[in-house]
Structure formats: C-alpha cells, structure tokens
Amino acid sequence: MAENKNRDVAASILPLVGGAANVTSVVHCMTRLRLGLADRSLVQDEALKALPDVMGVVEDETYQIVLGPGKVARVTPEFEALVAEERAGAPAPAHTTTADDLAAQGAELRAARKAKNATPFKLFLRRIANIFVPLIPALIGCGIIAGINGLLVNLEWLPGVTPALAAIASGFMALIAVFVGYNTAKEFGGTPILGGAVAAIIVYAGVANVSAFGQKLSPGQGGVLGALGAAVLAVYVEKWCRKWVPEAVDVLVTPTLTVLVSGLVTIFGLMYVAGEVSTGIGTAANWLLDNTGAFAGLVLGGLFLPLVMLGLHQALIPIHTTLIEQQGYTVLLPILAMAGAGQVGCAIAVFKRLKHNKSIRTTIKSALPAGFLGVGEPLIYGVSLPLGRPFVTACVGGAAGGAFVGLFSMLGTKVGSTAIGPSGWALFPLLKGDHSLGTTCLIYGGGLLIGYAVGFLATYFFGFSKQMLSELNQDVDAGESPSARAEAVPASPEPARA
C-alpha cells in the first residue's frame, strides 16, 4: 500500500513538470526531489504546490520539489521508474527536429540560469554538498547508535552489548575519508574507486611509520579535508594520464600512476597540511564559542536562514564533518538549529495575527509539525519568505536562541551534535556535549523555547505593517496559494534570495 501511495505521488508530480520528455535529471537530497528540466515554462507551479504531499517548490539550478525527509527517498525511485516507463512507451516524434529543438532550448535555459544565478563560488559549494550530503544518512544512523550506547554505558546497562554498539557506531567514522574520496572523484569526473583508494591511505595504520616535515604521521591525520584534496588530485592525475598514455597500456598505467603520484603527494604533503587545517578549524570553533559564545551564537543563529536562501550554508558541511571527526560532535549545529525555532515561533505568530486568512492558516497548520522536527522549507517558502517581514523576525528568533546556547559555551558547557542533517526536536537523540546528557538536552531545549518565544513576539508585534494586516487578514479561500496572495502585499524589507 505504501509503495502504491509513493507511486501515486510520483505520478501526480510527473505531468505537472512537463512529463518524462521534459525531465533531464532526477536526484534527491534530505527533503527535496531535484529535477533537471529541459523547458521550465512547462511546469505548473501552482498545481504542484496544491498537491497534498508537496510542501513547497524552490527554483535554483535544479527545480526542487519539497516532499520532506523519508518521503522524498521513497518517492524518487518511483518517479525515476515512471520517467523510464513513459520514455520507453513514448511514440516516435512527429517531427524529427523536435528533440533537437527541446535539447537546444533546454541548454539555452540552463545556460541563462547559470549565468544569472550561479557564481563559481556557489557552483563549487554545490559540488562540496554533492560530496557530503550522501553521507548524512550514515552519520545520522551511527550518531543515534553512539548516543544510545553512551546512555547505556552511563547507566551501566548491558555491558556485554555496549562494545558491539561502539564498534557499529564508530566503524563508519573510522573510514569516512574513503567515502569522501570516492564521492569526490565521482563528482569531479574521475574514477570513483581510485579516489577512494587514494583517500584510504589517510586512514591506513601503516602511515604511522612514515615521517613528513620532521614529524611522524598519524592514521587519519588530515581527515575528510585531506581525503577531499587527495581525491581531487587523483582526478587531475587520471585525466592527464587518459590524455597522454597510449590506449594499449592505459588500463595498466593510468590507475597505477594515479594512485602512486596522488598517494605520494598525499603522504608527504596533503596529510600534514590538511591535518594542520583541520586542527585549526577545531581550535577556531572552540575559541569562538569559549570567548564570544553569546555573540557568535547570535550571529550564526540569526544569519543561518539567509545563508540557506543563498545556498552558502553548504560551505559548513565539511566544517561540521571535520569537527565530528575530531571531537565526536559539532558545536555549530545546535546553534544553527535555532534558526528553525525562530521560524516556528514566527509561523505561530502569523497564525494568531491572520485569524481570518484560511489559506495561510491552513498552510501553517499542515507545516508546523514538520517545522518542530526541523524541516523548515514548508514554513519558509509557504509563509515567512513570501510575506517578507516575518522572514526577518524569524531570523531574530533564531538569533536569540543561538545566543542562549552560545552563552553556555562561554560558561563552559558545550552543546554538540554527533551528526548533521536533523534539527529541531529531531536533534535530541544526536545531542552530545562535555557535560551530562541531561544538561546538554536542557540547554538545547532552552534554546529552542527562547527561539520559539522571541520569533513569536518579534513577528506578532513587528512582523506586519497596518497595510499588510488589512490586506492579508481577510477571509481567503483555503485553496488559494498564500504566496500568491502575499504577492499583492509589499514586503518590507525584502529578504535575500538565492
């Protein structure tokens, strides 16, 4: 039954994005179905937003349909299957030039969008995200198991089982460099297994017998940053070999030279340099929160939503991963999660203020449960961002919650997360710090409550002008899109867009 439901969702989406002929690529992240489209004009945005399972849509380099965590992972395979079936059963085009015209038009649209919205820096960040995002499910699973194991150890329960749980939780992190190397080579156009092979050198125990820059190397030195650099180097060496090595010996020479050259540079250069950078990241994060915790939390919690809108939050993924690898948790994620708390408080205030707008209130009621669990897209794209000022007041709530959590770091109690991805209440099973689990959860929970409260109060009292209230606080049909209704209202100030 569940499979049929997921297939029904995919079947309802496909014709609204122009059918299989209009779909050039299909991937998904934690919450969104990301589609490459040949002709953007064929998409029926409002009809998509009206689908019960669609939480919102985002237009970026790809067309992104927000389905939520769990749901998107189940719908995507069904969508891919439907695309394949429709293409296989499609009749030959009546005009031989139609396919070429569509391809040319799609290329022009993609080129225009890239020139308008994509900078080299943002494209680079997307590549970095493509490397690390596939690792998030394993980070979450292992992080939760590590949390359960830590609780059992503290309670002195099941002593015969806890060593096995520790091995299960730690195995992935011990080899995460290999997975990063594999994904990096794949993303940059090389042979994935060669990227993994070079990155595996970093975690090989035998490197402890090698000295570089007058120091003995340590297994794992350089971590994920070293693995990323090693794999990128391997891709360039491999491409050079493919260009100059004769085809007759390519199968023997190219992989050998790729692993040898990249491996030597990794051992005698990258491991040491990346190790110093990784240590610097950990030291900087700790210093920042130890000495400027409240201010740092205010800035990070307040600016995280705009960073998400601009796509710049992807730059934080390797930093989170490095901190988890070094310290066992990232101290930044709980602070950044406060942005979602501000968003929830903002949405509740909008619900209270717009008592007669059935459309927006219906959207909020359906999106709030996901918001409490850290899935913020429905509230961002369906409520606060189209309205403008509430987006800013939501950021104020996030800043307050971040300042609260950061303050405790200054006072000597760090709050961290053993994985990245979840937020809101869903982050509780992944919490870890330098004090007891109870203390860590209380501080994080307190930050959420402050984020909710300040986001609510800031939005309730400052989120609407008199003109906005008069125009929005009307009996609007629940079938009308709140974003479409908000377009008629001047949003001041206008939030940043990606």
Positive or negative torsion for Cα 191, 193, 194, 196: positive
Positive or negative torsion for Cα 281, 282, 286, 289: positive
Residue 179 in contact with residue 196, Cβ under 8 Å? yes
Encoding tokens for residue 109? 């649209």
For 329, 345, 432, 434, the CA distances from 439, given in Å and listed in that order, are 16, 24, 10, 10
Encoding tokens for residue 272? 């040491």
Note the maximum CA span of the chain: 76
Positive or negative torsion for Cα 422, 425, 430, 432: positive
Local structure of 23: helix, strand or coil: strand
SS (H, E, C) 294-352: HHHHHHHHHHHHHHHHHCHHHHHHHHHHHHHHHHCCECCHHHHCHHHHHHHHHHHHHHH
Q: How many CB atoms lie within 10 A of CB 482?
A: 25
* Stated length of the chain: 498
Cross-strand bridge partners of residue 415: 433
Instruction: Report, as residue numbers or ranges, the catalytic residues.
Output: 29
Q: How far apart are CA 245 and CA 435, in angstroms?
A: 57
* Rg from Cα positions in the chain: 25
Q: What is the amino acid identity at position 42? A: L
Q: How far apart are CA 403 and CA 411, in angstroms?
A: 12
Q: How far apart are CA 269 and CA 259, in angstroms?
A: 15
Strand order in the sheet with 32-37: 23-28, 32-37, 63-66, 56-59
Helix count and strand count (H, E) for the chain: 22, 8
HSE at residue 128, side-chain half, CA atoms within 13 A, is 20
Q: How far apart are CA 135 and CA 440, in angstroms?
A: 25
Q: How far apart are CA 251 and CA 38, in angstroms?
A: 37
HSE at residue 40, side-chain half, CA atoms within 13 A, is 15
